[in-house]
Chain A
């Protein structure tokens, strides 16, 4: 039986010893202070709390930290200064994808996951890729265009 949970957050080793039912989201935001990841619906439906767990996009509000032993977790803070992260974020700025900004960390994580697995997505594939991320400002079109721009600008970057 595990008594502590070892995982990495943005490459840094973490040992967690509290309640295994604590939400990954609360560990990220409250315990470790990475507040880029947002809490929206708290039911795994809006995508604001999206992070990458072991290479897969997940909503951190519905994952207990007890399910994260041995996992590598990546949040917006872990990708924003990487080449790929910068590519998406600058495309979002250039494309006018951001209004209030609350959904954007989740959108960027969804875009990152999409482009990592599909370097050259169609518009339909982009829309499916962010179909679990709700934005109440933009109407999505500029976000979709910006992800297409990130795919185009990044080109070789996403094929690695």
Chain B
């Protein structure tokens, strides 16, 4: 008999045991894996390694606010569930709500989106801006690290043998101003051409925090703490003076391969728009 290549565990403990034993791939929503393993009509998909279908594990579902103020998103939470949840930061909700179209958002999971590590993936970008973390579990125990550290590059992550992403943790945010854009060829079902999140915390006319993250502008989501530090600590009236220095630093941090002039120019204009709005004393919230 042919060796079984697919397993359906009924709880997390069973899942971790079989993941480790078979050095398997975990399948959550299936929206990426089922396409990459497809063999055409009527022929079942196949993969180079055994597959563990984790889609229905109850331990990996649900979104909740923890006592320490962090939001915990179960890895199997779908884009729709995230987009609809009042517990999730607006930047992440925005990204989730613009992913694919209705049916895809009902299938695609946040854990899968992170594990797939596409440079054009929609949710890692705002998660990295917010310093969100992933929880990884295996039979050896549990690890936690920033999404930014977990994703190494295009399709490359720190996921080890037998490990499953079990949750995404978003720290409480004190950003007062946020901005999000996804640029695609269409309004729906569009792979991102370019995405950006920008956030600032302004207290008494001073920028106490400034962050940005660029998606689809390099092999992974780009943040530059060095560039961000140029604007942190400045007063709103000083922003114009430091804007060009910041924009140049950000331009040096991103590394778009295809259509670099377009991606660099558009990134620059979006950042410039946000900084100008801050300088002009725009009111708190999501800047449109």
A residues whose Cβ falls under 8 Å from a Cβ of B = 1-2, 5, 19-23, 26, 30, 39, 42-45, 47, 50, 53, 56-59, 61-64, 66-67, 69-70, 110, 113-114, 128-129, 131-133
Q: How far is the CA of A127 from the CA of B90 in the complex (A)?
A: 23
Q: Does B9 contact A (CB under 8 A)?
A: yes
Q: Does the CB pair B44–A23 fall under 8 Å?
A: yes
Q: How far is the CA of A56 from the CA of B78 in the complex (A)?
A: 11
Q: Quick one: which of A59, A67, A70, A129 contacts B104, CB cutoff 8 A?
A: A59
Q: Does the CB pair A39–B18 fall under 8 Å?
A: no
Q: How far is the CA of A47 from the CA of B101 in the complex (A)?
A: 9
Q: Which residues of B contact A42 (CB under 8 A)?
A: 35, 38, 40-41
Q: Which residues of B contact A70 (CB under 8 A)?
A: 56
Q: How far is the CA of A1 from the CA of B104 in the complex (A)?
A: 27
Q: Which residues of A contact B56 (CB under 8 A)?
A: 67, 69-70
Q: Quick one: which of B14, B31, B80 contacts A44, CB cutoff 8 A?
A: B31
Q: Does the CB pair A19–B189 fall under 8 Å?
A: no
Q: Quick one: which of A20, A47, A114 contacts B8, CB cutoff 8 A?
A: A20
Chain B contact-residue range equals 35 or more
* Contacts A/B (CB < 8 Å), 18 sampled: A1-B10, A2-B9, A2-B10, A20-B6, A30-B42, A42-B38, A44-B103, A53-B106, A56-B80, A61-B34, A62-B29, A63-B107, A64-B53, A66-B53, A69-B8, A69-B56, A70-B56, A132-B102
The answer to whether A67 and B27 touch (CB under 8 A), given A1-B8, A21-B37, A132-B102, is yes
The answer to whether A63 and B30 touch (CB under 8 A), given A1-B14, A23-B44, A42-B41, is yes
The answer to whether A64 and B187 touch (CB under 8 A), given A57-B102, A59-B107, is no
List the B residue with the shortest CB-CB distance to A50: B103
Q: Quick one: which of A56, A64, A69, A114 contacts B34, CB cutoff 8 A?
A: A64
The answer to whether A57 and B44 touch (CB under 8 A), given A1-B14, A2-B8, is no
Q: Does the CB pair B34–A23 fall under 8 Å?
A: yes
Q: Quick one: which of A61, A66, A69, A132 contacts B101, CB cutoff 8 A?
A: A132
Measured CB to CB, the closest approach of chain A to B74, in angstroms, equals 16
Q: How far is the CA of A30 from the CA of B41 in the complex (A)?
A: 9
Measured CB to CB, the closest approach of chain A to B283, in angstroms, equals 26
Other than the given A19-B44, A45-B104, A113-B102, 13 more pairs (CB < 8 A) read A2-B9, A20-B7, A20-B8, A26-B42, A45-B189, A61-B34, A64-B53, A67-B53, A67-B56, A110-B102, A131-B102, A131-B189, A132-B103
Q: Which residues of A contact B27 (CB under 8 A)?
A: 64, 67
Q: Which residues of B contact A23 (CB under 8 A)?
A: 34, 44-45
Q: Does the CB pair B104–A22 fall under 8 Å?
A: no
Q: Which of B1-45 contact A (CB under 8 A)?
A: 5-10, 14, 18, 27, 29-31, 34-35, 37-38, 40-42, 44-45
Q: How far is the CA of A23 from the CA of B34 in the complex (A)?
A: 8
Q: Does the CB pair B107–A62 fall under 8 Å?
A: yes
Q: Which residues of A contact B9 (CB under 8 A)?
A: 1-2
Which interface residue of A19, A61, A67, A114 has the most chain B CB atoms within 10 A?
A67
Q: Does the CB pair A129–B102 fall under 8 Å?
A: yes
Q: Does the CB pair B6–A132 fall under 8 Å?
A: no
Q: Quick one: which of B7, B8, B37, B189 contacts A132, CB cutoff 8 A?
A: B189
The answer to whether A131 and B187 touch (CB under 8 A), given A44-B31, A66-B8, is yes
Q: Quick one: which of B35, B53, B101 contacts A20, CB cutoff 8 A?
A: B53
Q: Does the CB pair B46–A21 fall under 8 Å?
A: yes
Bitwise interface map of B from 240 to 278 toward A, beta carbon under 8 Å scored 1, else 0: 000000000000000000000000000000000000000
